[in-house]
Structure 1
């Protein structure tokens, strides 16, 4: 009996590892941050309550998570040979889970995810949401089947999908606002600010995902080279790829600094809580939690020589994603403090 229970637990863990359950939890957390600490507080500043039903938001989020899970499954399905060379002890497909079972799991997860997305699009009357839930699955399939092994295309696709998951929250809110209030939300600049702020987080997600994907390509260079993939480290070599990474990190730092400049010197059109006072808390947070870690990443890359070094860098970049996303809590805190909003509907900060 104990053996049977242990076997079942191990099999469940194999499936959870196949769909990268930790990444899915992180993705859910990011979407919740965008909804509850960016979009909802922004709307309250404009004296508007979020009109997107919680049920619709969670339906959309579940759809995104299911599609991401399907993407991870099909990626491992196509990557068994490369994974056998790069990380033979972590191969799941064809070892602990059959290829047929993986294929069926992909079809079920992807079908359910698309259905959730289309249902959300109909609920919100949003063509954009519907198109994203149709295009993204196709991109993930072609990424796993082919684009992943081509120069830069695969990296860009994964980065784009990461950004789209964040942008979906803005599109979700904007669609329901337009549905309920019509042209008013556009004239008042509500939708503009939703897209502006959440779009900033989406850009950050795109750039950091792009950096992390290229670092992972360096980590997997041996297997990619053996199977004649055309990833950047295979085509350019690790040294030139590092130079390219330095450039992308520099661009990311410039974007972060441009953001802090907008915090300190906001334009008239851009909604900001800084019209009343200098927001040094946001400025310091971005410098300490985003810019400084990115500079550390440059140092780690310069010193990296072994595969384990790149593995640690990949994890560190993911940590920067988290610290960057958590700025949304600072954003909410500042809105609550300046405009007298209830923080998480619990208390007012004075």
Structure 2
């Protein structure tokens, strides 16, 4: 039982669940209403393929978490010794084996989906994601902003990979061309709206985590924003992106209210905008790693709330 718990901590079970929830929500709240409103639409990307897509996303993330912890052993000994798993509970050899197996299966799933659907690039995409996460773990995370942006892009890709798979699969020979194009444009806007949200809030969280882990990162040669620019400048960087995010979400609510989606607006104000304002206020009061850890946790909850807001597209569709 102790080994199972250690494994689930190693692969970051909570993060994997969030990936699955995000993609399931995207399907049932964005994709499914789209083709329900277009009865003549043909979508060869089936539920089976979608479930395999989720599995491959989870396996890539799990493999990335394992290899990241593998190369972070010394840093974790300083930043969070009580949470260290590799060497203490799981041997290095088994960590590498799990990383290879998960990565290989994820890539294999991608090429299988390519062979069964109009999607032709998922195998290559999964391969690139595995390579990027490996590169991140070895060196990219130590470079100024590079690691932060990479992880934020991969977070956004969790949504965009679903979008591209279905966008490539949609076809409708008997639909009105203007109506069909209007529906497609709406699908594109919604997909990129949530991908943009995921990118920005992930970037914010990555920098806050860097502030939390500054001591160990500095000792092992990392050039993160807090180390390179200092904590005050890092707080300004995070604050600017928080203001941008709050502004983006507030503008979206203006359109939401015009559509009469009042409960959606209430949800956004109470569970997304208000917590972001709280984070902005607490950011300048944060002094020690514990403070930044608390902020990181709240940011993760806001990210979850933002993704859950997809349900309103189902409710009001």
Pair 48,197 (structure 1): closer, same or farther in 2 beyond 3 Å: farther
Q: Is the 8 A contact 1:290 1:323 kept in 2?
A: yes
Structure with the greater relative contact order (CA < 8 A, sep ≥ 6): 1 or 2? 2
TM value normalised by structure 2: 0.93
Aligned to 1:286: 268
Which of the residues 124, 137, 141 maps onto 2:134? 141
2:298 aligned partner: 316
- Equivalent residue number for residue 39 of structure 1: 31
Alignment of 1:301-340 (within 5 A): 301-335=283-317
Q: Distance in 2 between matches of 1:309 and 1:48?
A: 54
The Cα shift of 1:23 comes to 1.2
Matched, 1:61 2:43: no
Determine the structure 2 residue equivalent to 1:114: 107
Aligned-residue offset at 1:32: 0.4
Do the aligned partners of residues 29 and 237 (structure 1) sit closer, same or farther apart at CA in structure 2, a change above 3 Å counting?
same
Q: How many residues align?
A: 314
State whether residues 124 and 175 of structure 1, in contact with CA within 8 Å, keep that contact through their aligned partners in structure 2.
Answer: no
* C-alpha deviation, 1:14, in angstroms: 1.3
Give unmatched runs, 5+ long, in structure 1.
1-8, 266-273, 336-350
Distance 1:157 1:280, change over 3 A: same
Corresponding residue to 1:25 among 17, 23, 43: 17
Which residue of structure 2 lines up, in the alignment, with residue 344 of structure 1? none
Q: What does residue range 1-350 of structure 1 map to in structure 2 within 5 Å?
A: 9-47=1-39, 51=43, 52-178=45-171, 181=172, 188-189=180-181, 190-264=183-257, 274=259, 278-335=260-317
What is the DSSP-based 3-state SS (H/G/I as helix, E as strand, rest coil) of the residue aligned with 1:148? helix
Deviations 1:50-82 (A, max 9, x none): 733111000111001001000000000110111
Structure with max Cα Rg: 1
Shift in Å at residue 312 of structure 1? Answer: 0.8
Structure 1 residues 134-158: Cα deviation after superposition (integer angstroms, max 9, x where no partner): 2211111111111111101001111
Where does the alignment leave 5 or more consecutive residues of structure 2 unmatched?
none
Q: Summarize the Cα distance change of 1:182–1:238 in structure 2 as closer, same or farther, 3 Å threshold.
A: farther
Contact 2:256–2:265 (Cα < 8 Å) also in 1? yes
